[in-house]
Structure 1
Amino acid sequence: MKINTTFKLVLAICLIVPCFLWSQKTVPEITHSFFIAGPQFTGIIGEAGEVIWDSKKAGARDGYILKNGHVLICWGDEVREYNRKKEVILSYKKTEESMELGTAVRLSNGNTMITESGYKPRIVEINKKGKVVKSIPLKPETDNIHMQTRMARKLKNGNYLVPHLLAFAVKEYQPDGTIVKTFSTDYEKFGGRKAETWPFTAIRLKNGNTLVTLTHGNRVIELNSKGQIIWEINNALYDEDPLVDPCGAQRLPNGNTVIASYGAQKGIKIFEVDSNKNIVWTYNNFRAHHFQILTTNGKPIKGTPLK
């Protein structure tokens, strides 16, 4: 009788309040396939970590798998587009020895946007034949060509969002080169300019905020329209230090953020955090300057051609 009463009591508790053992859920493992532009390897990695496509030319800085399945890659000296047969169908080379190319993005009108660092830094848009059809002058506030700019992106309003490392600033340019907005990243609370919080990748999110990686500052921040930090991750949040010179970044449709730790020689090279800043996925093989997540658990990310 005593045992029966005890059993009924336990059963009642489990019906009213989910029983601890019964309420546990195994979090499904996350797998991704992705494109890497990096110092050791430039190509596509499958969800099992296998190499799917290899450009055979390392050291890329930027790149994307386009909706038509072509591959667009930017190296410091050249931008190439490969078709599905791995044939080069578009090439744009730097025009000066000291110049560095840093960004290659396919625009909705079919043009390709490229950044040129040099004595006259600028953004160019080229057509399908590789001819420059638009040029936007940039103001990086330094003659250090390598440190003038990195991952620039074109906005839906036609302006350009450009990170300038040594200026400690993300600037929004109109097509005529006029600067209409500047977000400074030399935050005193992080240690000012001595902390080297250089902006590397700047992405305007769908909610109007801007996601920025801060390289040597080992931080990733999200800014509202006033430039105020509303979300941030740094190494103090984790037992290990996953942020080692964060360069590339991507905000996924589910709200998670993926980050490339370009400076990591060992351990985590790319990792994913949820909105609560928990690390939910890591990649530990090739270093990545930039990347593009293509699939999650076999399903393509919106806008990618892989199925």
Structure 2
Amino acid sequence: MKYFTNLCLTVLFCCLLPMTPSAAAEEKSPPRQLLIGYGEGVMRLDEQNHIVWHYHPADIETVYDAWQLPNGNVLFCHRYGVREVTPDQKTVWDYKIPREPGKQEINSCQPLPDGKVLILDCGNQKLLEVDRDQSVTHSIDLPDGGKNVHNRYMQARKTPQGTYLISYRDNKLILELNADGKEVWRYKLNDNDRAFTAIRLPNGRTLIPCITSYRIIEVDPEGKITWELDKQDDLGFELLYPVGVQVRHNGNLVVINSDYHHRKGMDNDVQAFEITRDKRVLWTLKKTDLETDGKVPVVERVTKMPSHHLLSIQVPGEPAGLK
């Protein structure tokens, strides 16, 4: 009886112990909001997936990249410019390029620690660092991305080491350039891959979401794939068009699973999700969540299907450099 009593007390004591941070992280995703850029604007969602802020003026077309800044403002790029707006939707910075379809386009932007903005100028095939007076303080001529302005590049990122990662769409390539524009690393993708972005991780590896092969890969500096998420993984839904990705403090990935330009998109209810490195899905954002709060789909001209056009995702407060 004494042994049984001691055993019961031990079990009770263990049950009352607080969970370790790693164990707690296994059970539940940390609290979060979402900032999402999509075809016609930017929106912020709370943890219940309700749209709590929505910016979609008539002059905006295709928001490829969106960032919530530390001061609460939102910086985003659209096809013909980069804009920063306050929470009450006042424009405080507006970098514009000529509205010349097929000749001019901006595919990505990135706020830099010194207050400047990195801009991918697809029309002129340049990477630009632009200050708040809209002066170009640094410019890099990019290796040729092909004749089609829209298909040349997807996104560009400046790394903590001061190099630049550029995703080539038609060339199926990731290039890393130094400040002088010299190539220091490249990763050649498969013929059926088109990379949306490339994120340099603290361990030196690079995370690459591939939108046409429906997979996300992590590669080391030697080009070896060290982790992969693809359509063969049992997620409970189809991995369809992984575009925007952010890595959280705990290593989890927050991923856009877009129905953009995809003929199967009507069957794709899950538009974003968070997944652990051992491939457990912690939460999903569904198109029904968006539509409940008024985000209506747009019928695409080519596919003739309703699309929600989600492209960029950020969890404010998480490492912005891992997006």
TM-score (norm 2): 0.78
After TM superposition, the structure 1 stretch with the greater mean CA deviation from structure 2, 227-236 or 141-150, is: 141-150
Distance (whole Å) between structure 1 residues aligned to residue 36 and residue 98 of structure 2: 26
Distance (whole Å) between structure 2 residues aligned to residue 303 and residue 184 of structure 1: 26
Alpha-carbon spacing, 1:152–1:245, altered in 2? closer, same or farther (3 Å): same
Equivalent position to 2:282, from 257, 280, 283: 280
Q: How many residues align?
A: 282
Equivalent position to 2:201, from 198, 205, 208: 205
Distance (whole Å) between structure 2 residues aligned to residue 247 and residue 217 of structure 1: 11
1:292 corresponds in structure 2 to 314
Residues 1:169 and 2:173 aligned together: yes
Shift of 1:156: 1.8
Alpha-carbon spacing, 1:302–1:204, altered in 2? closer, same or farther (3 Å): closer
Residues 1:101 and 2:106 aligned together: yes
1:83 corresponds in structure 2 to 86
Alpha-carbon spacing, 1:29–1:208, altered in 2? closer, same or farther (3 Å): closer
Equivalent position to 1:260, from 256, 259, 268: 256
Q: Deviations over 1:215-235 (max 9, x none)?
A: 010000111111110000111
2:180 partner letter: D
After TM superposition, the structure 1 stretch with the greater mean CA deviation from structure 2, 234-243 or 94-103, is: 234-243
Q: Deviations over 1:114-168 (max 9, x none)?
A: 10112x3111111102222221111243111111111210012221111101111
1:269 corresponds in structure 2 to 271
1:134 partner letter: H
After TM superposition, the structure 1 stretch with the greater mean CA deviation from structure 2, 107-116 or 261-270, is: 261-270
Q: Is the 8 A contact 1:235 1:241 kept in 2?
A: no
Q: Is the 8 A contact 2:145 2:153 kept in 1?
A: no
Q: Is the 8 A contact 1:140 1:166 kept in 2?
A: no
Equivalent position to 2:63, from 60, 63, 80: 60
Distance (whole Å) between structure 2 residues aligned to residue 130 and residue 46 of structure 1: 33
2:128 partner letter: V
Percent identity, aligned pairs only? 26
Where does the alignment leave 5 or more consecutive residues of structure 1 unmatched?
20-24, 187-192, 295-299
Shift of 1:95: 3.5
Alpha-carbon spacing, 1:41–1:243, altered in 2? closer, same or farther (3 Å): farther
Q: Is the 8 A contact 1:140 1:149 kept in 2?
A: no
TM-score (norm 1): 0.82
Distance (whole Å) between structure 2 residues aligned to residue 248 and residue 160 of structure 1: 18
1:36 corresponds in structure 2 to 36
Distance (whole Å) between structure 1 residues aligned to residue 79 and residue 319 of structure 2: 29
Residues 1:74 and 2:77 aligned together: yes
Q: Is the 8 A contact 1:60 1:289 kept in 2?
A: yes
Residues 1:92 and 2:95 aligned together: yes
1:72 partner letter: L
Larger Rg: 1
Where does the alignment leave 5 or more consecutive residues of structure 2 unmatched?
16-23, 260-264, 291-307
Equivalent position to 2:318, from 301, 304, 307: 301
Alpha-carbon spacing, 1:302–1:227, altered in 2? closer, same or farther (3 Å): closer
Distance (whole Å) between structure 1 residues aligned to residue 274 and residue 256 of structure 2: 9
SS in 1 for 2:33: strand
SS in 1 for 2:133: coil
* CA RMSD after TM alignment: 3.0
1:143 corresponds in structure 2 to 147
Q: Is the 8 A contact 2:151 2:169 kept in 1?
A: yes
